[in-house]
Amino acid sequence: MENYTICNCKSVSYFDVEDALHKAESFGDLEKTFAEVQALTHCSTGCGGCHDKIMDAISEIIHR
């Protein structure tokens, strides 16, 4: 997978999301997992426009 910026406001990349997922406690609930990734990376705390892209990345990474 190629690395690219997902959250421009906080400069969070796809690889940052992947790294945060490896540190996350569980993958049971997508919203809870998003909250854990957000706490680690601060993604989607600026304008919020990347929320859906972050959710898509999380889903893609979990289901690989």
Q: Is the per-residue pLDDT at 6 higher than 90?
A: yes
| pLDDT for residue 63 | 86
What range defines the domain where residue 22 resides?
5-62
Contacts of 21 (CB under 8 A, 6+ apart): 27, 33, 37, 58, 61, 62
DSSP string, 15-59: HHHHHHHHH-S--S-HHHHHHHHHHHH-TTSSS-TTHHHHHHHHH
pLDDT in tens, 42-63: 999 999 999 999 999 999 998 8
User: How many structural domains are present in the chain?
Assistant: 1
pLDDT surpasses 90 at 39:
yes
CATH number, domain with residue 31: 1.10.10.1100
